[in-house]
Structure 1
Amino acid sequence: MRTVYVNGEYLPENEARVSVFDRGFLMADGVYEVTSVLDGKLVDFDGHAVRLDRSLSELSMRAPVTRDELLQIHRELVARNDLTDGLVYLQITRGAPADRDFAFPDPDEVPPTIVLFTQSKPGLADAPAAKTGIKVISIDDIRWGRRDIKTVQLLYPSMGKMMAKAKGCDDAWMVEDGYVTEGTSNNAYIVKDGRIVTRPKSNDILHGITRAAVLRYAAEAQMEVDERPFTLEEAKAADEAFVTSASTFVMPVVEIDGTPVGTGAPGPVAARLREIYLEESRKAAI
């Protein structure tokens, strides 16, 4: 049985409790982060901590712990759960006021709720899908306009994932005004004539921590990167496509809406970026 962290306590998972009045439960009024663990170490913890602070600030929420305390909690959970490869999930909500209300309470009057737990993923870096690639479908992007905030409002992305599964695919790419925004839980890229194309940061997409690292490594490897929107038609005609996220790292996309991308197999750019990312992440993990 896992040990989890709830509001200052380390507890067996079957003893963890959150109030029924918690606004995360009632209003999806909360933010989250997922940090990968490789070889028992945290990957890009600082990047996730910085984005967490930004998400909290954008929603006028306060942090319940300092960054140093947050790092210690992560490390303690990894140790207590003997986690080698996997994930640490963190969620902070606005807390539990006296009763349900659309107007949220003063952040100084109601303490936020903080929950963390681990998920074991043996062989996380050696996922078979990295060698075969994944298949995606396209769906309309009908989410709210602040996708740059990593909130727990994940109903539509979950529905998108299920739409993909119903068609025998792995994921969905969301499309707005003809342009791909992102996947259900990842940033999207195409490769054409050796150039990597991905949507620039804005309120339209999540500012991925893995995205930032991959683009930095691509630049260091002297790969050309073009940060601009790309259409669904461009994606289908690309030489390669891939996604990035904290849990999948760099994952090739080999089919979009039934159309093979490039040769229909993972391409060299995605493969090389995955190799570089894993090598550098292991070196920098803490």
Structure 2
Amino acid sequence: MARVRTKDLLDTFDLELISGEEGINRPIVTSDLSRPGIELAGYFEYYPSERVQLLGTTEMSFFETLSPAERVNRMNDLCRDLTPCIIITRGYEIPDELIEASERESVPVMRSNSKTTRLFSHLTNFLESKLAPTTAVHGVLVDIYGVGVMITGKSGVGKSETALELVKRGHRLVADDCVEIRQEDQDTLVGNAPELIEHLLEIRGLGIINVMTLFGAGAVRSNKKISLVINLELWEKNKQYDRVGLDEEVIKIIDTNVTRLTVPVRPGRNLAVIIEVASMNFRLKKMGVNAAEQFSDRLNNTISRGHEDL
């Protein structure tokens, strides 16, 4: 089932439908847009007919210079089976040739009063958000000091309880139990909560609580870029855990690598504080301050001086 249809643009951007109403449910499969200037000049060899087509001042003024026969041919060629819609900007009058071709091929023609470049930008942002690759992960997403931290782990390990403690410490909940993730750019993952469970936390023994109602609007946010993944697991006595922090583990989500830390869980460990410090340390690393590397350099220098004294 198509995630975006032409009707979505009509409703979202308050466009005026002129003709081609039968095709209003055509699917939009790409966020790329087209301004078919070279096509109006007669070159359709690489015409991206599957894109939303925008006609602005440049295209419409050039169209006026064409002969009557050329106008009919160009508009017939613009309206294809795959074309989701054609949008005329700046409130220009719709050419009769375009109306006739669009009605015949059921290609919706819509009009906007916005400037072409502004509408182009808004449409691109909207389509990239709607058409971005998506996935869902079992976990909790919290905004900690501006760092989007996704807490993962097996059911019952303490993810929601840790998130509740983080909220009490002044941080903001994005999603609990299920994090919907979309890849907005090559290295940008944005997470949000499903609408059904937005602002809600499930705490065993208490049930469902509404974080925004209890702690206020400042305790939640609708979405956040995911920068760090912290995986909680029960402490295994014979397993070796990283004690220095030189080795950085990554996890691949969709097509993006995200730094992951594994934090062992056992009675007496304050997970909220540990995750809070991990977030601050992550920010420091991004600023070029790496405590593990500094310690390693000091240790190597101390060892070197010891050898020189022998």
**TM-score of the superposed pair, with normalisation by structure 2:** 0.25
Larger Rg: 2
**TM-score of the superposed pair, with normalisation by structure 1:** 0.27
- Larger RCO, structure (CA 8 Å, separation 6 or more): 1
Bigger helix fraction: 2
